[in-house]
Homo-oligomer: A and B are copies of this chain.
């Protein structure tokens, strides 16, 4: 094997990151999804090549039996995640959007969160809340919100909603209704607002809130 193909590099990098973040190795299908590979057989095939090259080892027939080989791998530190702190979120401004290389490159600032708070999810980042406009979501000035970047949401999810006409960012629970969308504050004593579906852009899902007093 002369050199690693782009696909193999991606796989190796993903495996390294996965082990570091979660503490256990990824499955073939984890790799398939993350590296956008069309078939598990392709993953298996390339893993075989990587194994022959000494980049990793595989235990036969066991789930998640991948181990980093002699040629790869920083020591793993499970349990804690350094989530990139991308910036601030405020009522009158759109939120910073993660770039493709956000999770790879180094950052000015990170927030440490317990891995349990981000259970399972990938591509989570943090934003610092500025101002008291999110009070109806039970979120105060200075809080840190953990966002999972996604363009759609399930009914009832707390989402980062961008209201195009109003040019306003808000955190609300998402309830699609026919033609429009009901945005319900987490504080159930407060009234929902209704917006046209086309006026709403979902920027992410709120997976956690941290308040440090």
Contacts and interface: CB of A to CB of B under 8 A. Distances in A.
Interface of A: 22-25, 27, 57, 59-60, 62-70, 77-80, 111-117, 119-120, 132, 135, 138-140, 158, 186-189, 206-213
B138 A27 contact: no
A208 B119 CA distance: 20
B213 A64 contact: no
The prevalent SS among residues of A at the interface is loop
Query: Can you list the 8 inter-chain pairs with the closest CB atoms, starting with the nearest?
Result: A23-B67, A63-B63, A112-B114, A209-B211, A67-B78, A80-B80, A138-B138, A64-B64
A40 to B, nearest CB: 15
8 contacts: A24-B64, A77-B77, A79-B112, A117-B212, A135-B138, A208-B212, A209-B209, A210-B210
Given A77-B77, A140-B138, A112 B115 contact: yes
A115 B57 contact: yes
A132 B188 contact: yes
Nearest to A190: B135
A24 B67 contact: yes
B213 A206 contact: yes
A78 B80 CA distance: 9
Nearest to A67: B23
Contacts of A132: 188
A28 B24 CA distance: 15
Contacts of A209: 209-211, 213
